[in-house]
Amino acid sequence: MNSCIIVKKKVVEEEKIVNVDLIQKPEILMNEEVVRSVKGDMISMIPRDWFFVDLGPDTPPDVFLVVTNPEYSLTLVFSAIQHNTITYDIFKAQKSIGLANYLFDKKQMKSAGSLIKHKTITNFKSGNLEFAVYKYRTKQQPMNAMNAVFNSSADMIYEVSLIPMNLTGLTMPSEFEMDKIFTSVLSTIRY
């Protein structure tokens, strides 16, 4: 009796890290009102005409602000995570890029492995501010969510996410428009 075993080598694709030195001023109109984190160590502006979404009892405890555009096609989510020994070690060794990978892995576990991460992590620097930006999508959603991770001076980890809403009948913005909105929000963040 002959038998055959086929072994397939797992190909691991490496992440590509891109550095961008400066985020310019916003490319879109922003609300004049500034939003603040609960601790007050991070401020940001949101796009003009976007509105606040009430946080219900099922909102994850790290989420402190959710806003959406008038078309309900995009949502911005602001989250704050208190450092712990794991995140301190990751930040010490890998800076914001390590935190971005850690937060994506947490999302991946919550979604039971249904997320697909874009291979490129972009490290944005604006003066003394640094953001690690990564993108992912669900297996059913063709558009990427955009996420920026940064570490504040008050030892908080912040994540700002621009998430396309997967609702039937909505006209979705282009990836170029999403990039413009997202970098405009990042350009207003101070921590």
pLDDT in tens, the chain (191 residues): 555 555 544 444 456 666 665 567 899 999 998 999 999 999 999 999 999 999 999 999 999 999 999 999 999 999 999 899 999 999 999 999 999 999 999 999 988 888 889 888 888 877 778 899 999 998 888 889 999 999 998 889 999 999 999 777 778 899 999 999 999 999 999 98
Residues 147 and 103: their CA atoms lie apart, in Å, by 10
Q: Return the bridge partners of 135, or none.
A: 146
Residues 187 and 77: their CA atoms lie apart, in Å, by 16
Which amino acid, 172? M
Tell the burial category of 1 from Cβ atoms under 10 Å away from its Cβ (0-12, 13-18, 19+). Answer: exposed
Look at residue 166 in the predicted model and tell me its pLDDT: 75
pTM: 0.85
Q: Do residues 152 and 41 touch, judged by C-beta distance below 8 A?
A: yes
Look at residue 16 in the predicted model and tell me its pLDDT: 64
DSSP state of 141: -
Residues 144 and 104: their CA atoms lie apart, in Å, by 13
- Regarding beta strands 16-20 and 120-126, do their DSSP bridges make them parallel or antiparallel, or are they unpaired? parallel
Burial code of 139-170, b = ≥16 C-beta within 10 A, e = fewer? Answer: eebebbbbbbbbbbeeebbbbbbbbbeeeeee
- Regarding beta strands 145-151 and 43-47, do their DSSP bridges make them parallel or antiparallel, or are they unpaired? unpaired
CA-based max dimension of the chain: 77
Q: Do residues 178 and 74 touch, judged by C-beta distance below 8 A?
A: yes
